[in-house]
Structure 1
Amino acid sequence: MGPAAGSKKAVASDKGILPNDKMVYFHSLVGLAIMAIFWFMSPIEPITPVGMKVVGAFLGMVYLWSAVGSLWPSLIGLVLIAISGYAGQGALGFKAVFLNAFGADVVLLTLFSMILFGAIDEAGCTKYIARWLLTRKIINGRPYSFMAVVWFTCYVISALVTPITGLILMWPITLRIMDSLKIERSDKIWPYFFVGMFAVMTLGQPFFPFMGAQLIVVSAYGSMTGVPADLTPVPYVPYMAFNFIMTMLLLITYILVLKYILRPDVSKLKGVDADQLAKEQPLPAMVWPQKLMMLMIPLYLIMLLAPSFLDRSNPVVNILATLGPLGVTLIWVIFFTIIRYKGKEVLNFRDVAYKQFNWGIYFMIAAAVYGANALSNEATGVTGFLLNVLNPILGGQSEMGFVAIMFTVALILTNFANNAAMAVVLMPVILAFCGQMGLNPLPVAMGVTMMVFVAMLTPAASPHAGMMHGRKDIYSTGEIMRIGFPICIVSLIYYIFIGYPLAKMLF
């Protein structure tokens, strides 16, 4: 086809609406229709008239978050809640919604934590972390040790930044290793290696409760349960321990199943050489700003966790408790903005924000947390409605039966819709029935929080799942389903029978 033909095709596309654009318009209309239907419907007792409008706005946002995007659906949802009269009538009520939604400390924490941890990636620190882990001599001639180190590296990078960053960084490295070892696409170990790599990334994503999409869920839980502003919504150490223990159990299980049951040929991986990898992945010596950022990571965690363990009568501990996660994050952002290297700020706020800041998550957190709080408010009557409707299904269940149903629903929904949004939707149900059954809601809520990140079976499961499904040179849909589906089922079983009892002990 010559240039002329290509030009005609481009002109035709300009004059028409592309198929993808048509689907966006279709889903947009469906989401807006959901909002409109609830706006004009007669109230379903015990939901109040205002409650119906809030429910419509929230459900419309959930649909649009999954099918279209995060930014404008969040804004229109907040607009509808604002004009519903939920926060008061007229201009004062309208302003109150946006002031409370975007003035919440969790929204500000999202902004500055994305900048701070984005700066770590911009400085190239994640590359040094990956190189250090992948050049340990324990991998020499040991195929399963090599795979374990690769997968653990994926876990660390996903937890520190995002799974998307992890995939962008790790795909080229691992593909180059596979090529050097003459491992081909047709080799049996190939799909197990790469699907396992993705699974660990998605399981590791919610490790830190104070950043990323998991912050939406954690903050919604805190908002619905009325956690005071000077306290964290969930205790950080038990939360991180919960994610780490469960992910490592699942990783060990995956390795054992591969080694002793499936037994793919891994003989080519015996050629892995840590020294050779170090030569093939050359990086310049770290400069002092990079070392300082690497040091910041453990110091940041210590500053966040110290008030949980040390006596607050100590002036330093008291200051850290006063600062909280938002204040500690701001201190580090200010520090790295002040110090300079070669005439430039170590943290160039504008550049890092341009490359690393995710506006979709920012607006979604504001809308999701405020909307979730509105749903659980007595003025809407939603909690009473959920109790009435779901009581025949969940009311007569045992504790483990209730947990199994909630975790299963979370797993199914997250593979077809936005993961954080699905957890927020389930949160009022968890709180209502845990209250009715006399259960501590925190272990159930945190189990659901982890389950909604076991998202890999469809492109709609998460942005990084969409990336995985799009790499047809690495993954086929059949391989993802054949390997990913058992991973999801085993994860569900583990979280029900191991994770929930563990969460009850930790929390």
Structure 2
Amino acid sequence: MIGLAIMAIFWFMAPIEPITPVGMKVVGAFLGMVYLWSAVGSLWPSLLGLTLIALSGYGGQGAVGFKAVFLNAFGADTVLLTLFAMVLFGAMDEAGCTKYIARWLLTRKIINGRPYAFMGVVWFTCYVISTLVSPITGLILMWPITLRIMDTLKIERGDKIWPFFFVGMFAVMTLGQPFFPFMGAQLIVVSAYGSMTGVPADLTPVPYVSYMALNFIMTMLLMVTYIIILKFILRPDVNKLKGVDADQLAREQPLPPMVWPQKTMMIMIPLYLIMLLVPSFLDKSNPVVNLLATLGPLGVTIVWIIFFCIIRYQGKEVLNFKEVSYKQFNWGIFFMIAAAVYGANALSNDATGVKDFLLNALNPILGGQSEMGFVAIMFTVALILTNFANNAAMAVVLMPVVLAFCDQMGLNPMPVAMGVTMMVFVAMLTPAASPHAGMMHGRTDIYKTGEILRLGFPICLVTLVYYIFIGYPLAKMLF
């Protein structure tokens, strides 16, 4: 009812200069969607928001304008990429590839008798799984494994190392979630940025290598910092972890030998990335490079799906599109991407007057700030909002503000925008922060709310400081 009320109020309210009458309806639809995404769900609020934007006349008058909104929203390559990427990478999870990745990493002999090496390997494993599939998959896979290890080592719930280990594990997962800019909720933000800045359809919204490098460097830096603080400052008792034995873990986590379809899917990951990145480095006069540039992320993803659908193992398709999509496809994310990207583009359009309104309203707060002051405020706001609402939605809401004030201050908006993108995934302090945060808070057998807040708040604060003083300068170099 609150979400519907937000939409209705803006629909009938007199325009607030310089927002236009159409702009008021678009703002109401978008803010209503943002609220409902956090409080209710993603699917029907997205459809309702797009319906109201279509009825506002933003896409044109009458039935033609109404259809244009939905055709443009769902016909965007971002939405199609989301559909096919979820199936392609979901097939990896269905084939059990993530289990083999986890077992391989957790059975490295470097962990023998080295508690902090063991924790680092576990957390890095969580990071890898989170980037390839999702933090939810990472938790579902890693909770049973790590709990079994703790039980074997006789580490009890009351031992001091317990909360440090499990909260740290979750933190690394949530930091790693936005690693790939062409899949998951982060695609919503990256695509919204590209749409608002007018990036041509044949170009990627952000340089993929720079984006992934920023996430990887900052996550690893934060993980190492956490380990250093544990080892040299907090110094919890880790003697029981010295009993970790890679060979024993290998025996306790038996998996059958990998078959060739699983090996092919594992090889696909680096080949997929190479196919996406090659056009950025090599001359497009080369026919192969030109073909890859023409295909883009959407085409490359479809080609791999075709390949895995064609090849067969034991008389069955390696990738059964229907079965994989039934288990792995997230309709909420799909509809949310369509609505969020289209709605964000509408907000930034001059026809709505929203950009000018934001400049006038926020200029007293942000207008007189230095570059670092502006960055600090935006990153802090992103961190606070994301712990109470939908991650991607909060970033999309902040994107017009970032772009407007970067333009006013003469700053390159990409480093600020990508910093905000990373910050909105530092979501762990409340159950509403993200679906996987809700899972974490719900596992009272592993986490106590007090422990999550006691450790999570400093982790979030250190992450904020790192991104302001290290991440942002690094992003300026990378972008």
Look up the match of 1:500: 472
Shift of 1:158: 0.0
Aligned to 2:302: 330
User: Deviation digits for residues 111-133 of structure 1, max 9, x if unmatched?
Assistant: 00000000000000000000000
Q: Deviations for 1:68-102, whole angstroms, at most 9, x for unmatched residues?
A: 00000000000000000001010000000000000
| Candidates 105, 111, 119, aligned match of 1:133 | 105
Which residue does the alignment assign to 1:362? 334
Amino acid at match of 1:356: Q
For residues 328-352 of structure 1, what are the alpha-carbon distances to aligned partners after superposition, in whole Å with 9 as ceiling and x for unaligned? Answer: 0000001001111111100000110
Per-residue CA deviations over 1:480-500 (Å, capped at 9, x if unaligned) read 000000000000000000000
Residue 185 of structure 1: aligned partner: 157
Aligned to 1:76: 48
Tell me what 1:46 maps to.
Answer: 18
Looking at structure 1, the residues matched to 273 and 176 of structure 2 have their Cα atoms a distance apart, in angstroms, of 17
Using the TM superposition, give the Cα deviation of residue 250 of structure 1 relative to its aligned residue in structure 2, in angstroms.
Answer: 0.2
**Which residue of structure 2 lines up, in the alignment, with residue 162 of structure 1?**
134
Q: Unaligned regions of 5+ residues in structure 1, if any?
A: 1-28
2:259 equivalent among 287, 292, 309? 287
The match for 2:192 is 220
Is 1:424 paired with 2:396?
A: yes
Structure 2 residue 447 is the aligned partner of structure 1 residue 475: yes
2:293 matched to which residue of 1?
321
Moved over 2 A (4+): none
Q: 1:313 is paired with a residue of what secondary structure?
A: coil
String of CA shifts for 1:247-303, please: whole Å, max 9, x gaps: 000000000000000000000000000000000000000000000000000000000
Provide TM-score, normalisation by structure 1.
0.94
C-alpha distance in 2 between matches for 1:367 and 1:127:
34
**Cα distance between partner residues in 2 of 1:422 and 1:207:** 18
Aligned to 2:347: 375
Structure 2: state its 5+ residue gaps: none
2:82 matched to which residue of 1?
A: 110
Say whether 1:64 aligns with 2:36. Answer: yes
1:199 partnered with 2:171? yes
Query: Residue 375 of structure 2 corresponds to which residue in structure 1?
Result: 403
Give the structure 2 partner of residue 8 of structure 1: none
Q: Are 1:453 and 2:425 matched, yes or no?
A: yes
Quote the offset at 1:439 in angstroms. 0.1
- What's the secondary structure of 1:380's corresponding residue? coil
- Structure 1 distance, partners of 2:306, 2:8, is 44
Inter-partner Cα distance in structure 2 for 1:313 and 1:172: 51
Q: Which amino acid aligns with 1:173?
A: I
Tell me by how many angstroms 1:210 deviates.
0.1
SS state at 2:426 partner:
coil
The counterpart of 2:460, out of the listed 470, 473, 488, is 488
Displacement of 1:57? 0.1
RMSD across aligned positions (CA): 0.2
SS at match of 2:178: coil
Residue in structure 1 matched with residue 436 of structure 2 by the alignment: 464
Is the counterpart of residue 268 in structure 1 residue 240 in structure 2? yes
Q: Percent identity?
A: 88
Task: Confirm or deny that 1:439 pairs with 2:437.
Answer: no
1:385 Cα offset (Å)? 0.1
For 2:139, give the aligned amino acid: L
* Distance (whole Å) between structure 1 residues aligned to residue 111 and residue 184 of structure 2: 32
- SS of 1:311's equivalent in the other structure is coil
C-alpha separation between the residues in 2 aligned to 1:357 and 1:268? 41
Are residues 1:255 and 2:222 paired? no
**Counterparts of 1:411 and 1:432 in 2: how far apart (Å)?**
20
Give the Cα–Cα distance (whole angstroms) in 2 for the partners of residues 256 and 299 of structure 1: 35
Q: Provide TM-score, normalisation by structure 2.
A: 1.00
Amino acid at match of 2:53: I
Please give the alpha-carbon distance, in whole angstroms, between the structure 2 residues aligned to 1:216 and 1:368. Answer: 7
Q: Which residue of 1 is the match for residue 278 of structure 2?
A: 306
Alpha-carbon distance, 1:213 to partner: 0.1
Is residue 385 of structure 1 aligned with residue 332 of structure 2? no
What is the aligned counterpart of 1:340 among 297, 302, 312? Answer: 312
Instruction: Determine helix, strand or coil for the equivalent of 2:361.
Output: helix
Aligned length: 479
The answer to whether structure 1 residue 245 and structure 2 residue 217 are counterparts is yes
Residue 49 of structure 1, CA deviation: 0.1
From 379, 387, 411, give the equivalent of 1:415.
Answer: 387
Instruction: Report the secondary structure of 1:385's partner residue.
Output: helix
CA distance in 2, matches of 1:147, 1:427: 36
Deviations 1:8-48 (A, max 9, x none): xxxxxxxxxxxxxxxxxxxxx00000000000000000000
Shift of 1:467: 0.1
Residue in structure 2 matched with residue 15 of structure 1 by the alignment: none
